[in-house]
Every structure is written in structure tokens, then in C-alpha cells.
Amino acid sequence: MIAGLTPSDWDIQLLDENFEKFQYTEADLVGITALTSASYRAYEIASLYRKNNIPVVLGGIHISMMPDEAEGYANSIVIGEAESVWNTLLNDFDKGTLKKRYYGELSSLTDRIFPRRDLFHSNYTYANIQTTRGCPLSCDFCSVHNFNGSKYRERPVKDVLDEMETIENERLFIIDDNLIGYTKKSTDRAIDLFKGMISRGIKKDWYCQASLNIADNEEVLEYAAKSGCRMILIGIESEKVDQLHETNKKINLRIGVNHYEEAFQRIHKHGISVLGALVFGLDSDSIEDIKNRTRFAIDSGIDAMQATIVTPLPGTALFKRLESENRLLYTNFPRDWERYHFHEVSHQPIKMTSDELSAAMDECWRTLWDEKTVYRKMLKTLKQTKNAKAATWAFTSNTERHNLAFGREKPALDIEKMLGNIKLSNYE
């Protein structure tokens, strides 16, 4: 996106350490982005360039939440969304008057800025696209509302469709935090987007993130499915009402935990699978609760399972609370941010020791992504969605997590072996 904002007389190189080993490259100006868990690495690279007198600009969510920390590692930092300030920053750089800080405003999203996908590494399995920003909710563990604001902002549907037409990848991840939004108007806009994809012949398989109430709207599900939706990531968090209060996950309370299954079934009926995100290690969690939630994930209509440990990230209410209660386990920042990646216990739980939580999570992950469970889930998804692509997307997600949970101990799950004699064409 930053490259997309940059005037065309700049020569830009993009290095993504998810795919490529870092290689020092001469440059006039270096820009770095990082999530919290990668911020220390970002500072390392920034320091390397600055030692050689190459100016560095840092931006992104972590930098915006921790500007005082980040400032020490950069010539300039961008706090917030970059659209309103990036060109001013480049002009200042040209004039030799780079400022220490730039404060980006929330973008109107009407500027038709498309990411420079030509710069991407070729190994991305799917292409990302963003159609909205902002979230009016304020879940305890999340900093999105703090960063992107609580107003739900929408890109014009036409711009999104035009951008989609430029994407070569057959698979898309629509990265909006909630693709359907929070009002009838925003849900209608999502339907318009799906109808636009259909009428323009944009044939992609895609997945998205949405709140659980997407299941309440048959029309949105119908057009999502028709336009290629295979899976929806939904923040389920917990199957217990008091824990939804604890995490301030109000939207799930509206549906009610007793109606989760009906919601999953309605989504399945349209040939779409559910990626259910669950959170573990809440203050009210006992070891027994962790076992119960693991069981819930397996027995429920969730197809692809995501299970992470409560992690206090900067800018969240959770972080403030745990810090004030002296319950952060690692505070040697910025180095210790590397531990804040959702798969390591970084806070002191209440009903158990941190080692007990860690052991319980190892057991949870190995139970969830045990080979037999993952195969059974695949068959269940196929039966419920009657859609081979939806089942394959969910299976692939579980497979990735199986391989993470078991590492080299067990060989990777084999989709060919799994599918065996099933005639997938019957399910499309």
C-alpha cells in the first residue's frame, strides 16, 4: 500500500522476511512495517541501515501503539494510517527536512489507491484485499478500534471490483475485520460487492472475516457463496457466556452461545465452512475450562480450528489491565515483544500457573490437530457443506496447524491420501 501511494519516479524494492532471507541493499530511504511480535526484528534492521546513514521510516500498528519506543530506532515514524501523510513525508525527505513524527488521519478510502502487487513475492498462496476499515466494537484483547478507529469506513464497491480485476491469484483473502459491517446498510453493501463479483465474472475462491451474525442473513450468505466464498473466519472466543462478558465480545452475546450451532449450520447450508477462533487462558479459565473448550471446538460445527493464548498487545485494554496488575511475565521491551505471538504464555493467569497454562495449551493443540481429528473434521465439513472447496480450505487450515503443533515428529498430513476415493466432483 505504501508503494502504491508513492510517486512513480521512485524505484521501489520490497522484501518480505516471511519468504526471503534479509539481504542488506543500498537505498536512499528505507520503510519498515512490523506487527508487535516482529518489532524487535524491525528495530534490528532499522539500526543496521541507520549505522550506514540511510534514513529509516517506521510505521504500522505496533509503531503507532508504541511511538516513544519506536522513535528511538528511526529517523521518522508514521503514527496511524499513512495515506494522508506519506507524500508530505517524501517531499520533506527530498528537501532534507524529515520530521521525527507524522500523524496520519483515518483515510476516507475513496482515493483508489491499489497495492503494488507487482512487487510481491511470488509464493503468496492467496492475494489479500481490503474493502473496509474500522470497528465500532472494543473487544478487550484487540487494538483495531484504537488504531483504525471505531467508525466503519467503506471503499466504494466499484473501486474494490476494479482492484479485484487486477488480481491474478485465483484465491483471495478479504482482510476486513468484519466484511458485513454492523448495520443493514453495510450488509447491503457487502451483498452489492458479491453481486458485482458475479456480474463482472470475477471468478475467485475467497475467505473473509465476519462477525457471527452473518449467519442471520440468508441473502448475504447466498451471494457470498455464489461469488466464491469458501470459508468465514469468526471470532467465537469462548462457549461460556461469562467469558464473552469478560472479553467484551458483545456481538456473540447477542446471538447467544446456545445458538452457535444453528449459526454454523446456516453457514454450512450455503456450502461455506467456518474457521472458528477461540481464545484460551482468560482470567476465569481453569484447566478444566481449557479441556472443555478444546472438546467444544472438536464437537462443534467449527470446521477449521484456531486456538490461541490470550496475549496482551500494546494499545489494548487487556495490556493496560495486566500491566497495572503486575501480571506481564516478560517486560524487557522491545526484546520481549518477540514472545507476544499468541502461542507462548506471556501473562500470569489467575486460576493456574503460567507453566500449567503452557502445558494445557500443548495438550489442547495436540488434541485439536491430532491426525484422526483433522481427517474426521474434513469428512464432517464435506458432509455438512457438500462443497469440496469449502472442505479443502478448512482442511488446509487444520493441516497447517497440525504441522505447527507436531513439528517434525509426525509427517505432514497428506491431502491426497485423505481424499482417497472421495469423488470431490460430487460435492462442487
**Which residues form the interface with ligand B12 (CB under 6 A)?**
1-2, 18, 31-33, 35-38, 57-62, 78, 81-83, 128, 130, 142-144, 148, 175, 177, 308, 313, 341-342
Q: From the CB of residue 183, how many other CB atoms can be counted at a distance below 10 Å?
A: 11
**Helix (H) / strand (E) containing 115:** none
Give the footprint of ligand SF4 on this chain (CB under 6 A): 135, 137-139, 142, 144-145, 177, 235
* Residue 293: CB minimum distance to ligand SF4, A: 18
Residue type, 112: R
- For ligand B12, the closer CB: 32 or 157: 32
Contact 230, 205 (CB under 8 A): yes
Closest CA to 310 of 258, 248, 250, 259: 248
Return the one option of ligand SF4, ligand B12, none that residue 83 interacts with (CB less than 5 to 8 A, by type).
ligand B12
- For ligand B12, the closer CB: 3 or 198: 3
**Helix (H) / strand (E) containing 3:** helix 2-5
CA distances from 357 to 8, 138, 319, 362 (A): 51, 26, 18, 9
Q: Please, where are the H alpha helices in 386-426?
A: 388-406, 415-419
Contact 275, 368 (CB under 8 A): no
* Residue 145: CB minimum distance to ligand SF4, A: 5
Which grid cell is 48? 543496521
- For ligand SF4, the closer CB: 1 or 277: 277
Return the one option of ligand B12, ligand SF4, none that residue 358 interacts with (CB less than 5 to 8 A, by type).
none
Q: Is 334 helix (H, G, I), strand (E, B) or coil?
A: coil
* Residue 136: CB minimum distance to ligand SF4, A: 8
Return the one option of ligand SF4, ligand B12, none that residue 59 interacts with (CB less than 5 to 8 A, by type).
ligand B12
Return the one option of ligand SF4, ligand B12, none that residue 36 interacts with (CB less than 5 to 8 A, by type).
ligand B12
* Residue 45: CB minimum distance to ligand SF4, A: 28
Return the one option of ligand B12, ligand SF4, none that residue 175 interacts with (CB less than 5 to 8 A, by type).
ligand B12
- For ligand B12, the closer CB: 315 or 388: 315
- Count how many Cα atoms sit within 13 Å of the Cα of residue 289 in the half-sphere of its side chain: 21
Burial class (CB in 10 A: 0-12, 13-18, 19+), 312: buried
Residue closest to ligand B12 (Cβ)? 59
Return the one option of ligand B12, ligand SF4, none that residue 271 interacts with (CB less than 5 to 8 A, by type).
none
* Residue 336: CB minimum distance to ligand SF4, A: 23
* Residue 340: CB minimum distance to ligand B12, A: 8
- For ligand SF4, the closer CB: 319 or 369: 319
Q: Please, where are the H alpha helices in 208-336?
A: 218-226, 241-246, 250-255, 260-269, 287-299, 317-324
Return the one option of ligand B12, ligand SF4, none that residue 235 interacts with (CB less than 5 to 8 A, by type).
ligand SF4
Return the one option of ligand SF4, ligand B12, none that residue 273 interacts with (CB less than 5 to 8 A, by type).
none
β partners of residue 79: 103
Return the one option of ligand SF4, ligand B12, none that residue 148 interacts with (CB less than 5 to 8 A, by type).
ligand B12
Q: Which residues contact 335 (CB under 8 A, 6 or more apart)?
A: 40
Contact 48, 32 (CB under 8 A): no
Return the one option of ligand SF4, ligand B12, none that residue 138 interacts with (CB less than 5 to 8 A, by type).
ligand SF4
- For ligand B12, the closer CB: 313 or 413: 313
- For ligand SF4, the closer CB: 25 or 150: 150
* Residue 236: CB minimum distance to ligand SF4, A: 11
Q: From the CB of residue 21, how many other CB atoms can be counted at a distance below 10 Å?
A: 6
- For ligand SF4, the closer CB: 57 or 317: 317
* Residue 152: CB minimum distance to ligand SF4, A: 10
Closest CA to 12 of 120, 84, 105: 120
* Residue 272: CB minimum distance to ligand SF4, A: 19
* Residue 148: CB minimum distance to ligand SF4, A: 8
Q: How far apart are CA 344 and CA 95, in angstroms?
A: 45
- For ligand SF4, the closer CB: 347 or 402: 347
- For ligand SF4, the closer CB: 252 or 381: 252
- DSSP codes of every residue in 132-200: EE--S---TT--HHHHH-SS-EE--HHHHHHHHHT---SEEEE--S-TT-SSHHHHHHHHHHHHHHHHT
Rg of the chain on CA atoms, in Å: 22
